[in-house]
Structure 1
Amino acid sequence: MRRTSLRRLAALALSAVTLVGGLVAVQAPAAAVPAGFDHTIYWNNVLLKTYRAVGGPPTVLSRAGAMMHLAMYDASASLSSGPTYLARVAPVPNFSYDVDMNVDMAAFKVLQSVFPSRDFTADYQGSRVYPPVGSPGPEGWSTSVGEGAAQNMINARANDRSTVNTGYTPGTTAGQWRPTEPNTVAASPNWGRVTPFALTSGSQFRPSLPGGFTDITRMLTSSEYAAQVRDVRELGAATGSTRTTDQTQAAFFWANDLDGTYKPPGQLFAHTQIIAKAKGTPTIKLFALVAMAMADAAIAAWDAKYETTIDLWRPDTAIEEPQSDGNAATTPNAAWQPLSTAADGSHFSPNFPAYISGHATFAGAWAGIMKRFYGTDAVTFTATTEDPKAVGVQRTFTSFSAAANENALSRLWLGVHYRWDADAGLATGDAVANRVFGTYLR
Structure 2
Amino acid sequence: MKKSTSPMKLSNKAYVFKWKAAIMLIITFSFLQSCDEDIPSIKSLPILAPTKVDETAGNWKTVLNINASSISLPTAEAISSAAYQAELAELVSLSTNRTASQTNTTNYWAAGAVVRWNEIARALVAKYNIAPIVGAPANPNKPFSNPPFAARAYALLSVAQYDALVTSWKFKYQINRPAPASTNASINLLTPETTLPSFPSEHAVVAEASRKVLEFLFPAEKEYLQKLADENKNSRKWAGANTQSDLDAGTSLGSQVATLVINRAKTDRMSQAGSQTTFIDYFNIARIAESDRWISLELPYRPPMLPLYGKVKPWYDSVSAFAALPPAPPSLSSSEFKNALQEVRKIADERTREQWRIADFWADGAGTYTPPGHWNLIAQELIIESKWSEVRSARAFSLMNRAVMDAGILCWYSKYQYYLPRPSQLDPAIKTATGIPNFPSYTSGHASFSGAAATLLAYLFPTQANRLLNQADEAAVSRLYGGIHYRFDNDRGKECGAKIGQLAVAWAQADGAN
TM-score, normalised via structure 1 length? 0.75
Q: Distance in 1 between matches of 2:247 and 2:220?
A: 34
Q: Distance in 2 between matches of 1:180 and 1:135?
A: 57
Q: Which residue does the alignment assign to 2:410?
A: 300
- Give the superposition deviation at 1:135: 5.2
Q: Which amino acid in the other structure matches residue 123 of structure 1?
A: L
1:412 to 480, 486, 504: 480
1:281 to 371, 375, 388: 388
- Give the superposition deviation at 1:243: 2.3
Q: Distance in 2 between matches of 1:23 and 1:178?
A: 57
2:438 to 351, 365, 384: 351
Task: Classify the secondary structure of the residue corresponding to 2:363.
Answer: coil
- Establish whether residue 339 from structure 1 lines up as the match of residue 433 from structure 2: yes
Q: Which residue does the alignment assign to 2:128?
A: 54
1:399 to 467, 490, 499: 467
Q: Which amino acid in the other structure matches residue 256 of structure 2?
A: G
- Establish whether residue 195 from structure 1 lines up as the match of residue 313 from structure 2: yes
Q: Deviations over 1:184-220 (max 9, x none)?
A: 2100100000001113156331010114xxxxxxx12
1:140 and 1:121, CA in 2 relative to 1: closer, same or farther beyond 3 A? Answer: closer
1:173 and 1:29, CA in 2 relative to 1: closer, same or farther beyond 3 A? Answer: same
Q: Contact 2:201–2:247 at 8 Å: present in 1 too?
A: no
1:366 and 1:411, CA in 2 relative to 1: closer, same or farther beyond 3 A? Answer: same
Q: Contact 2:213–2:258 at 8 Å: present in 1 too?
A: yes
Q: Distance in 2 between matches of 1:229 and 1:77?
A: 49
Superposition map of 1:306-385 within 5 A: 306=416, 308=417, 310-320=418-428, 335-340=429-434, 348-378=435-465
More strand by share: 1
- Give the superposition deviation at 1:96: 3.9
Q: Share of identical aligned residues, percent?
A: 27
Task: Classify the secondary structure of the residue corresponding to 1:123.
Answer: helix
Count of aligned positions: 361
Q: Which residue does the alignment assign to 1:290?
A: 400
Q: Distance in 2 between matches of 1:413 and 1:364?
A: 18
- Give the superposition deviation at 1:374: 1.7
Structure 2 gaps of 5+ residues are 1-38, 41-71, 76-83, 96-102, 130-143, 178-197
1:370 and 1:138, CA in 2 relative to 1: closer, same or farther beyond 3 A? Answer: closer
- Give the superposition deviation at 1:51: 0.6
- Establish whether residue 181 from structure 1 lines up as the match of residue 290 from structure 2: no
- Give the superposition deviation at 1:351: 0.4
- Establish whether residue 130 from structure 1 lines up as the match of residue 235 from structure 2: yes
Q: Which residue does the alignment assign to 1:42?
A: 116
- Establish whether residue 225 from structure 1 lines up as the match of residue 341 from structure 2: no
Q: Distance in 2 between matches of 1:99 and 1:247?
A: 44
Q: Contact 2:315–2:402 at 8 Å: present in 1 too?
A: yes
1:106 and 1:224, CA in 2 relative to 1: closer, same or farther beyond 3 A? Answer: same
- Give the superposition deviation at 1:162: 0.2
The runs of 4+ residues in structure 1 deviating greater than 4 Å are 21-27, 30-36, 134-142, 168-172
1:175 and 1:23, CA in 2 relative to 1: closer, same or farther beyond 3 A? Answer: farther
Q: Distance in 2 between matches of 1:138 and 1:103?
A: 13
Q: Deviations over 1:231-285 (max 9, x none)?
A: 11111x2xxx222211110001100122x11111111111111222233234221
Q: Distance in 2 between matches of 1:158 and 1:252?
A: 35
Structure 1 gaps of 5+ residues are 1-8, 11-20, 83-89, 212-218, 321-334, 341-347, 379-397
Q: Which residue does the alignment assign to 1:15?
A: none
Superposition map of 1:237-276 within 5 A: 237=348, 241-258=349-366, 260-276=367-383
Q: Contact 1:203–1:304 at 8 Å: present in 2 too?
A: no
1:36 and 1:100, CA in 2 relative to 1: closer, same or farther beyond 3 A? Answer: closer
Q: Which residue does the alignment assign to 2:16?
A: none
Q: Distance in 2 between matches of 1:140 and 1:420?
A: 53
Q: Distance in 1 between matches of 2:430 and 2:249?
A: 63
- Give the superposition deviation at 1:356: 0.5
- Give the superposition deviation at 1:418: 0.4
Q: Distance in 2 between matches of 1:375 and 1:81?
A: 28
Q: Contact 2:447–2:472 at 8 Å: present in 1 too?
A: yes
2:253 to 145, 160, 163: 145
Q: Which amino acid in the other structure matches residue 45 of structure 1?
A: E
Q: Which residue does the alignment assign to 1:29?
A: 91
Q: Contact 1:75–1:145 at 8 Å: present in 2 too?
A: yes
1:106 to 209, 226, 240: 209
Q: Contact 2:445–2:493 at 8 Å: present in 1 too?
A: yes
Q: Which amino acid in the other structure matches residue 461 of structure 2?
A: Y
Q: Distance in 2 between matches of 1:285 and 1:176?
A: 41
Q: Distance in 1 between matches of 2:357 and 2:154?
A: 28
